[in-house]
Chain A
C-alpha cells in the first residue's frame, strides 16, 4: 500500500513539473527567436524573490487568485465549467462596496455582513446559470459567458453618479466604505502589509478539502464529476447537484475580490482588478483542483505577475515583461497536455503493476490450488 501512495505523489508532481519545464523551454525558444538571451530573464525574475516587497505583493495577489481558482475548482470537480467567476466576483465586489459604504455596524458584525453580501451576490449570479442549466438545459459555459457581459453592464449602471457612483478625480468609485468594514492587515513594516483576508482564503482552502473529502455531499459531488451515470445510479440527484455546485462556486467567487476591497482600496472603482476569474481557470487547472496544488499555482502565477515588471527596468538590457504572460499562457497549454498524458500513463502503469503483483501472488500460491478447487466445487 505504501508503494501506491508514493506512486500517487509521483504522478501528482509529474504533471505540473513536466508542464513547467516545457513552458520554460518554449518561452526560451520565443526569446531566442526574437534574438534575446534565453536565460537571463529567468535569473532577473528569480532575483525578485528575495525582495520582501515583491514577496508581500505576491502573497496578496495569490490570495485573490486562490479564491478565484477554488471557485473554478468546485465546478471542475463535477465537470461544470464556471467561466462566470469573473462576472461573479466583480459584481459581488461592487455590491459589497456599496453596502459597506452605506451600512455602518461595529466591525465584528460589519465584516461578516460584507462577506455574506459578497457570497450571496456571487451565488445569485452563478445560480442564474445553474437554474438555466437544470430547468432548460442551457450549457453553463454559454450562460456564464453571457452573464459576465451582463455583469459588466450592471456594474456600469450601478456605479453611475445618479445611482451609487461617487466620482473621485477622473475615476468613478462607489464611495469610501465605513472603516468598521476594513479587514485588518498584517503589517510587514517597510515592505507593506499582507491582506488579512489571505488567512480567510487559506481557511476556504481547508474547508474546500474537508467538504469534498469528508462529507457525503462532497462524495456525491466528486462521484458526479467522475461518472455522471454511476452517480445517478447511486442515487445522486443530478439537477440538485448542479445547482448546489454552481451556488457554492459562485459564493466562493464572490469572495475573490474581498482581499483587495476590504484590505486596500475600500471602494469599487474603474481601476478594480479585472480578469481574476479567467486567471483562476488556469490556476485551477495547474493546481489539479487540489487545494494545496492551487495554493502553489496561485503563488507561482502571482510571482510571475509581480516579478515581471522588473524586466522592463533591467540593465544593461531591458526585456519585455510580457515574457511572463507568454509563460503563463504556455503553462496552461502544457498543463492540459501533460496532465492527460500523465493520467493515462499512470492508469496503464497501475494496471500493469496490479497484474504483476497478482501474477506473483498466484505463483506463490501455486501449491494451494486444492483450496481453490474446493471453493469452486461447493
Chain B
C-alpha cells in the first residue's frame, strides 16, 4: 500500500508544499492527482466538483498540470516546438502559438525565448519551459515534483519568484520537496506525508525547520557536521592532470586538467551542477572510462591502466549516483546483490567458487546492522524502497573496508535516521584512514562532511573552498561558473564564530 487515508486541501492562489521523505508516498499521490494512477478508495474534487481521472489528459482538461522531476523535452527541437508538441489544436503551431507563449512568458515573468534550441538551455531554463508548457495547456493548478533538486541556490530563488508570480495571478501550485528551508520560504500551507499517509499540516510562519523535520520523520533531525579533523599527510589518491575526451569526432574534453589529492582520513567534497563532469570523473576513477592523459595513483601506486575489478580489489568502494543502473541487480535477490562488485572477495567467494552461504550470512548481518527494512534476503532488490536499497549498497561497500570510497549522493532518497547512520559510517571509516570523494547535490551535506571542497564546472576544477567558512550561496555561484579560484568568505570572523556555535550545538 503506497498511500492510505490521504487528506489534502489546496487553496486557490497559494503555494501548497507537500513534504515527506523519499518513499513516503509523495510521488504516488501526485500520480493519482495527475491521472497516472487510479486510487482504490477516496475521492478527488476540483473546484467543488468530484472528478475521476483515468489519464493525464483528463487531469489537464481539469486544469491540473505536472512538471516532472526529470524533464520531458526533446533536445533537438526549439522551445516553441516543444511547447506546442501534442497540443497543436490549441493555438496552432505558428504565429498564434508564438504570441500565446510570449504572453504567458511575459505575464509570469518566465523569460522564455521561443526560438532557442532546448539543447542549448541550462537546467533552470528547461524547467521554465516545462512550466510554460503546462500553463500553455491551460493549467490552473501546477504540480512541481522536487523542482529544486537540480538547481543551485540562486536558481532556486529565481524559481520561487516565478512561483510567487503564478500565485499572485490566482494559480495554485503544489510543491513537492524534502528540503525544509525552501518549503518554509515559499509555501503558504504545508502538508506532511509519512509512510503513505498525511500526518499533519503546518503554517510556515509558525514553524521551524526542525519542527517540520520531526513531523516528517517522527524523530529528530541529524546534522552532517564533522568533529575534529582526521586528515593525515599520507596521500591515498592522487589525480594528476587527468584528461578525458568525448568519443567520436568532436573530441570535446569532458574532463580537463583535473588534479587533486585525497589524503588518508580526508573527505574531499566535490560541488557542481549535475552534468559538469562528475559522472565522467567517477567513471575514470573506477575504471569504466580510461583517461586520455594524466595519472591516477592510489597509495603511491599507478592505477591508471588497471581494470575496474582490479581497482575494486585494491580497496576502492563505490556508492554509485544511479543505484539502479550501477549498484544493483534489481531482479536478483538481496544476497546476490551483496555479491555484486565483490565477487572475487570473501565472504562471497572461495577461490573460483561462489560461497552463497557466506554471502547470505553476511547479507543478514548487513540487513541487521544497517537497518535495511526487508522481510528477508531472498526478496528482489526491486521490492525494496529506494532508501533501503541505498542502505544495502552502503553496507556492502563498507563491509569490504575500502581504502578509498567514491560516494556519489550517498544519502539520496534515504530517510533521516538512515542518513545520520550513513554519515556516521563515513566519519568512522574516515577516522580509520579512509579517503573519500564525496559528490552530492545537497550542499549542506557537502559542507558538513567535507574537509576540503572543490567545485567542478564544465569538466574543470574551477574553485576550492574551506568548508568551515563557505556558505551554500558562495558555492552556488562557483557552481554556475560565476566565481572561481579560492572562495574567501568576506566576513570571516562572525561566520567562523557561528559555525563553531552550530557545531557545539550538534555535539
A interface residue numbers (CB < 8 A to B):
1, 4-5, 213-220, 222-223, 226-227, 229-237, 347, 350-359, 361-362, 369, 372-373, 375-378
A375 touches B417 (CB 8 A): yes
A213 touches B382 (CB 8 A): no
Please indicate the chain B residues that have their CB under 8 angstroms from the CB of A357 in the complex: 375
Please indicate the chain B residues that have their CB under 8 angstroms from the CB of A218 in the complex: 354
- Known A4-B378, A5-B378; contact A377-B309, beta-carbon cutoff 8 A: no
Q: Residue B312 contacts which of A222, A235, A354, A373 (CB distance < 8 angstroms)?
A: A235
A236 touches B220 (CB 8 A): no
For the complex of A and B, list the 10 residue pairs with the smallest distance between their C-beta atoms, beginning with the closest. Answer: A235-B309, A234-B341, A233-B326, A235-B308, A376-B417, A376-B219, A357-B375, A354-B383, A373-B219, A351-B383
A4 touches B376 (CB 8 A): yes
A219 touches B354 (CB 8 A): yes
A375, closest chain B residue (CB): B417
Q: Residue B222 contacts which of A214, A219, A361, A377 (CB distance < 8 angstroms)?
A: A377
B375 touches A358 (CB 8 A): yes
B341 touches A214 (CB 8 A): no
24 contacts between A and B (CB under 8 A): A1-B377, A4-B378, A5-B378, A216-B354, A217-B352, A223-B329, A226-B329, A226-B330, A230-B326, A230-B340, A233-B308, A233-B327, A234-B341, A234-B343, A235-B313, A236-B308, A347-B331, A350-B380, A353-B383, A354-B379, A369-B219, A372-B219, A375-B371, A375-B417
Task: Kindly state whether residue B181 has any CB partner on chain A within 8 Å.
Answer: no
Give 6 A-B pairs besides A5-B378, A376-B221 with Cβ atoms closer than 8 angstroms.
A236-B309, A354-B383, A372-B417, A373-B219, A375-B421, A376-B416
B287 shortest CB reach to chain A, Å: 8
Please indicate the chain B residues that have their CB under 8 angstroms from the CB of A235 in the complex: 287, 307-313, 341, 343
Q: Residue A220 contacts which of B325, B343, B416 (CB distance < 8 angstroms)?
A: B343
A355 touches B1 (CB 8 A): yes
Please indicate the chain A residues that have their CB under 8 angstroms from the CB of B416 in the complex: 376
B interface residue numbers (CB < 8 A to A):
1-2, 195, 217-222, 286-288, 307-313, 318, 320, 325-332, 336, 339-344, 349, 352-354, 356, 371, 373-380, 382-384, 416-417, 420-421, 424
Considering the chains assembled together, what is the distance between the CA atoms of A141 and B1 in angstroms? 43
A373 touches B2 (CB 8 A): no
A1 touches B343 (CB 8 A): no
Considering the chains assembled together, what is the distance between the CA atoms of A354 and B309 in angstroms? 33
Please indicate the chain A residues that have their CB under 8 angstroms from the CB of B377 in the complex: 1
Please indicate the chain B residues that have their CB under 8 angstroms from the CB of A230 in the complex: 325-329, 340
Considering the chains assembled together, what is the distance between the CA atoms of A236 and B287 in angstroms? 11
Please indicate the chain A residues that have their CB under 8 angstroms from the CB of B219 in the complex: 369, 372-373, 376-377
- Known A229-B326, A372-B417, A377-B219; contact A234-B382, beta-carbon cutoff 8 A: no
Please indicate the chain B residues that have their CB under 8 angstroms from the CB of A373 in the complex: 218-220
Q: Residue B341 contacts which of A217, A233, A352 (CB distance < 8 angstroms)?
A: A233
Please indicate the chain B residues that have their CB under 8 angstroms from the CB of A226 in the complex: 329-332
A229 touches B343 (CB 8 A): no
B110 shortest CB reach to chain A, Å: 36
Q: Residue A227 contacts which of B220, B312, B325, B354 (CB distance < 8 angstroms)?
A: B325
B419, closest chain A residue (CB): A376
B356 touches A237 (CB 8 A): no
Please indicate the chain A residues that have their CB under 8 angstroms from the CB of B326 in the complex: 229-230, 233
Interface centre among B318, B343, B371, B416 (most CB of A within 10 A): B343
B383 touches A347 (CB 8 A): yes
Please indicate the chain B residues that have their CB under 8 angstroms from the CB of A375 in the complex: 371, 417, 420-421
A216 touches B343 (CB 8 A): yes
Considering the chains assembled together, what is the distance between the CA atoms of A179 and B506 in angstroms? 86
Considering the chains assembled together, what is the distance between the CA atoms of A361 and B371 in angstroms? 13
A344 shortest CB reach to chain B, Å: 11
A349 shortest CB reach to chain B, Å: 9
Please indicate the chain B residues that have their CB under 8 angstroms from the CB of A352 in the complex: 1
A58 shortest CB reach to chain B, Å: 34
A228, closest chain B residue (CB): B325
Considering the chains assembled together, what is the distance between the CA atoms of A372 and B222 in angstroms? 13
Please indicate the chain B residues that have their CB under 8 angstroms from the CB of A214 in the complex: 353-354, 356
Q: Residue A350 contacts which of B220, B318, B383 (CB distance < 8 angstroms)?
A: B383
Considering the chains assembled together, what is the distance between the CA atoms of A154 and B423 in angstroms? 64
Please indicate the chain B residues that have their CB under 8 angstroms from the CB of A359 in the complex: 1, 195
- Known A235-B341, A356-B1; contact A4-B421, beta-carbon cutoff 8 A: no
B378 touches A1 (CB 8 A): yes
Please indicate the chain B residues that have their CB under 8 angstroms from the CB of A362 in the complex: 195
Please indicate the chain B residues that have their CB under 8 angstroms from the CB of A347 in the complex: 331, 380, 382-383
Please indicate the chain B residues that have their CB under 8 angstroms from the CB of A353 in the complex: 375, 383
A235, closest chain B residue (CB): B309
B37 shortest CB reach to chain A, Å: 13
B220 touches A377 (CB 8 A): yes
A131 shortest CB reach to chain B, Å: 20
B283, closest chain A residue (CB): A233
B333, closest chain A residue (CB): A4
Considering the chains assembled together, what is the distance between the CA atoms of A151 and B195 in angstroms? 61
A1 touches B376 (CB 8 A): yes
- Known A1-B376, A230-B340, A369-B218; contact A354-B354, beta-carbon cutoff 8 A: no
B349 touches A216 (CB 8 A): yes
